[in-house]
Amino acid sequence: MRLIARFAKDKKTHFEVITVYDKKTDVEVVEKANPMVQSIAKRFPTAIWFERKIYDDFGIKMEGSFDERPLLHQERFPRNIHPMLKGFKEKNLELGETLAYNYEKIDGDGIFEVSVGPIHAGIIEAGHFQFSQAGEDILHLEVRHFYKYRGIEKSLEGLSLKEARPIIERISGNESIAYQIALLDIQMQASHGSLPLTVQKRNALLLEFERVIHHVTDLGFIANDAGFAPALTIGSKLSEDARRWMKKLTNSRFGFGAITLEITPIELDSFTLYLDALKKEIEWFERWIIDIPSLWDRFDTTGILSIRKTIKYGTVGVVARASGRVLDRRLNQFYSDHGFIMAGANSGDVAARFLVRIDEIKNSLLMMRNFLDNEKEEVLYEHLYDGEYNSFVESSLGELFMHIELKEGKIERFFVRDPSFINWQALHVMMDGNIIADFPLINKSCDLSYAGNDL
């Protein structure tokens, strides 16, 4: 059984803790007098971030937890303040006393700590990495994020789905299309409606295009972090061309506002020519990059994630598929009918994650050709029915899970689990046998979102 998410709700008279697995969903009723539930983190290691988040948000303690440190609340966040409680209405908070964060570390002669972040060069978002080192060798890594704490879940409460959309589609810019598709899916569930095939195809086309954009960007940056800058030049060029086409198709380089019930006509001939040209460039890039032995010396056996640990940590997306796990939300009849073939590898190293991306780009380009359709169909859309709704989308980073509870047509509870929330927690187990200079390469090969975590 695979853990997908764990989150809580304030039902005014009591709490609910919802645990979503791939085969079932458990709902635990928790009294408010002494709120506590049993931790599941010893069985599912990635539950620990969910459980720490539940405490920070709601004040619900986890019995048997091996880590009770704050997750979202930084050093001066006032203690005993839990912003996701329904009674919390404050607009401003007074900073509390500074309480140092106790990083995990390894003690011993000659072992020292290296701190990287939370501020980085360039445009990388805030994130901290704490290394325990023996010379160049990495002994342990702890990842710490959540420096922005944007309050998205709280701010969406009481909004209609239409009002919430501009916020939801901007939660993580590199997955905007995926977030929009998840939201539209929930909208259709709540209206008891269904999407016509042509709308499904258009949405799938844009989702695959988003995947292509991020994969070609990653191919350039992964090689660059191994010291091969020419690949970054090519990847950046291909990414920029694709971004310009995304703007032509959606009026936004990131596809904001792209997923609707309307079909906007595409210039099929010119876009098909572009897809053909991109396919040739990717095929050339693959032949060229494969024939550079010094690059593969850095890729091969670096940052290995075994299939056993892939399962243990519940990783998703390319990270899982490159380690031999058959896991993709596109494994369904609709995608199969349009040419989907799941890419995968078994070595679980940087090389595998790089090659899986190339294979996925080629398959996405094939499917995009099959998704091209300008035909319009009427969508029957009724009012929204109150209830609880879940949606799953295979974003460019992996499985995205979204939950929305509607009450009187407004959002009562919004929760989303970005794929990176899972995969970040597995990053430290990829460090065994590697040196600190390999960290940027391993990190980039996983393509993890900072913003997707920091709601």
CATH number of the domain at 350, please: 1.10.645.10
Residues in the chain, total: 455
Q: Whole-angstrom distance between the N-terminal and C-terminal Cα of the chain?
A: 27
- Kindly tell me the number of DSSP H helices and DSSP E strands found in the chain: 14, 11
Within 10 Å of residue 212's Cβ, how many Cβ atoms?
27
The answer to whether residues 43 and 190 belong to one domain is no
Same domain, yes or no: 160 and 185: yes
- Whether residue 73 is contained in a domain is answered as yes
Residues 80 and 186 in one domain: no
Q: Is 411 helix (H, G, I), strand (E, B) or coil?
A: strand
**Spatial distance between the Cα atoms of 376 and 444, rounded to a whole number of angstroms:** 40
Is residue 452 included in any domain, yes or no?
Answer: no
Look at residue 50 and tell me if it is in a domain.
yes
Both 129 and 213 in one domain: the answer is no
* pLDDT value of residue 261: 86
pLDDT of 414: 98
Strand partners, 75: none
95, part of any domain: yes
Residue 419, preceding bond cis, omega within 30 degrees?
no
One domain, residues 45 and 138? no
Q: How far apart are CA 169 and CA 180, in angstroms?
A: 6
Same domain, 137 and 207: no
Closest CA to 57 of 117, 119, 16, 8: 8
- Characterize the bridge pairing of strands 36-38 and 61-63: parallel
In our burial notation (b when 16+ CB lie closer than 10 A, e otherwise), range 230-242 reads ebbebbeebbebb
Distance CA 172, CA 141 (A): 25
Which residues contact residue 99 at a Cβ distance below 8 angstroms, ignoring those fewer than 6 apart? Answer: 75, 76, 79
From the CB of residue 374, how many other CB atoms can be counted at a distance below 10 Å?
12
Indicate whether 141 and 159 sit together in one domain: no
Are 319 and 340 contained in the same domain? yes
Residue 78 falls inside a structural domain: yes
66 is written with which tokens? 């091996």
pTM beyond 0.85:
yes
On whether both 87 and 171 belong to a single domain, the answer is no
pLDDT value of position 357: 98
Cα separation, 103 vs 106, in Å, equals 10
In terms of domains, do 314 and 437 share one?
yes
Asked if 307 and 346 count as a contact pair (C-beta separation under 8 A), the reply is yes
Q: How far is Cα 370 from Cα 367, in angstroms, rounded to an integer? A: 5
Q: Where are the beta strands (DSSP E) in 135-275?
A: 137-144
Q: Where are the beta strands (DSSP E) in 56-134?
A: 61-63, 112-116, 128-134
Same domain membership, residue 240 and residue 273: yes
Three-state secondary-structure class, residue 100:
coil
Q: Could you tell me where the DSSP H helices lie in 291-408? A: 293-299, 307-313, 317-321, 333-337, 350-371
According to the model, what pLDDT value does residue 152 have? 95
Together in a domain, 248 and 391: yes
Overall number of domains in the chain: 3
- Eight-state DSSP code of residue 384: P
Residue 223 located in a structural domain? yes
Query: How far is Cα 39 from Cα 65, in angstroms, rounded to an integer?
Result: 5
Residue 380 confidence (pLDDT): 67
Task: Flag whether 163 is in a domain.
Answer: yes
Q: Do the domain assignments include residue 41?
A: yes
- Angle, alpha carbons 265-172-327 (nearest 5°): 85
Amino acid at 275: L
> How far apart are the C-alpha atoms of 311 and 368, rounded to whole Å?
31
Residue type for position 447? D
Burial of 54 (0-12, 13-18, 19+ CB in 10 A): buried
- Expressed as residue numbers, the domain containing 43 is 1-100
pLDDT tens sequence for the chain (455 residues): 999 999 999 998 999 999 999 999 999 999 999 999 999 999 999 999 999 999 999 999 999 999 999 999 999 999 889 999 999 988 888 898 998 999 998 989 999 999 998 988 777 888 999 999 999 999 999 999 999 889 999 999 999 999 999 999 999 988 999 999 999 999 999 999 889 999 999 999 999 999 999 999 999 999 999 999 999 999 999 999 999 999 999 999 999 999 988 888 899 999 999 999 999 999 999 999 999 999 999 999 999 999 999 999 999 999 999 999 999 999 999 999 999 999 999 999 999 999 999 999 999 999 999 999 888 877 767 789 999 999 999 999 999 999 999 999 999 999 999 999 999 999 999 998 999 999 999 999 999 999 998 98
State which of 70, 100, 130 marks the end of a domain: 100
